[in-house]
Structure 1
């Protein structure tokens, strides 16, 4: 048996297949892939790896939409793979769980409708996550669909860290800091705890990619994070602005900007792309070499260092620093620059280890004389989602008379 973990976006679908051992323990994936070109009118391209072999193809399966064609081909592929385990459930990454969903849930009843009410809080992700669930419900009608939330890891945030300085009436309505990238942070934290006894102390995790955030954790639990009510807050990102003086938005409104124009600016036209005017891709900016590209890189790095200082101060020091995400895992220059600017804390990294850590493996890059450990942890959100689904369904197997109540367990 296995759990199929999926992450549905606006134009792509990432998937991985995780076998289950006896007792529901989730193993590393045996199948990894991504289908791109799922925008309306697009031509889906599927890239997957199974049994050490990589495959690529253009999907020509008939269907009304690109997503439907992709799902039809994926379903056939899963049946064609020799020796692949039988799928027990589908685990979906869902960015926002709001106040109601504190842990993963089986999608049933009014769950989707409740989650749709959060679309405006994560417009780049939430609508596509939920559309993915609906499509999988149709394509795999006999499999449980499990929603796994990026916000769940941050439910341990203390009130002082989660509340904005707004009237209490708004806080009670749910206007508060939620935090995101929780599936990634869950994986990073678990991995660090396996690798180092110091991870039980004060840990700063940096998930740096097209979406970027930091998370401070003490004793393995989130206590502060840079993203807030939405996935806009905190660090500068690929196309998102990160933290912005609210007065800028008031000014733009006075200039006649409406909601949709402001939303497009903040989510799709800012960040690395907006500052550079070239690209949201850090790799392309590194290769460009222009003054505009360097300005965007410098601003991104500065924001990581600045926000790191704030989170380190909130913990009263630091024992472990971990980099992850597409930029965090592969950009050795950025890691070196961030650690150099945090050098006043006593952090030292080994240049050779840092350069070699661009390979996809767990790597310790600190020197023996460093006051803290520094790690590069390739994240695996799919494995965490699969584990969440397996745990939830295993509970139902143990107590069949309560199976129908599983969909409500994570709702408050």
Structure 2
């Protein structure tokens, strides 16, 4: 057995045994060194690769945006956004289901993480959705599926990691997800509206919304809604880098906490703790996956894979179809961040060789990984949502079927209509 095959088998075996992702990937790296003692690679070099993977300046954006999202949650932002969403969708069929989807779309630019978004909304909305007539399974499915919008809305953590390891413009990746996110939001709202009419779930209100009431709800939410605009605008105008934009987001969140008089010293300690824990979990995976990615490069796997794919796929359309199938299967078993760091450096050069825009391919890659986190048997997003709502995975999967079909349809649309991902970045940044 070749050393790289031994490494892959050990890593997959540890993942199936529910060993933490970073430990599973490191286990694969260690297996490679034991299986290949004469390659001239020492354990010291492996440790250096792990550390260097976590020392990228661009990666500093991750703790910054994680901290900004945590501060937003403790500064009264979520409550104000929730009230605005209730007024905005009050007369739509679906009631709190519609609120759930719109809140995911608007809050995605603040949390930056689909897991954080799903956990927050599962606690906040699912109990009331059940009282309104939704089954626990369907309410959980809406919550998890709507959090698929979060990785597409700037500033998504997945876009930061993808951009930093492939050299793709993070600013363009931030902008590229906006149009697909809006399409996803509208499609989900249509599905929930039809379900609600069928089940007789009432609207939140019957009377028409007056402009004064809408403005009253919008006014407290306008400052939080400006955060993605500030981030994208500052990067586009060259005022700051994506990493520096993360620091700007923290100061802006603190500013909102002071304006709303919601910030408390005890909350600050909780925010720091959440930021440290979340960042540590992400960076451990980043470091381990960077080492494994380097091993793949040492073994010429990316180069060989490029040759094989170019020989098998005669055009970019077949290549995109094959990549989608491959990434969906990978996403079912491997944590998104680890898969992204290992696979993106291998696949992006092939995509460019086929003439695919790297920003377009980045959005397809990120969305594939997001869908993988929702699908059994090892979807993190599925387990997080069901863990909070106490819903069985069998009921969740059953109620989530319509959303699976919708998400796969959206993936094909994003893959074969690149304009969805490239139009807005080209408009803002130029072709």
Please state which band the TM-score falls in when normalised by the shorter chain: under 0.3
TM superposition score normalised by structure 2: 0.24
Structure with greater proportional helix content: 2
TM superposition score normalised by structure 1: 0.25
Structure with greater proportional strand content: 1
Structure possessing the higher relative contact order (Cα contacts under 8 Å, 6 or more residues apart): 2
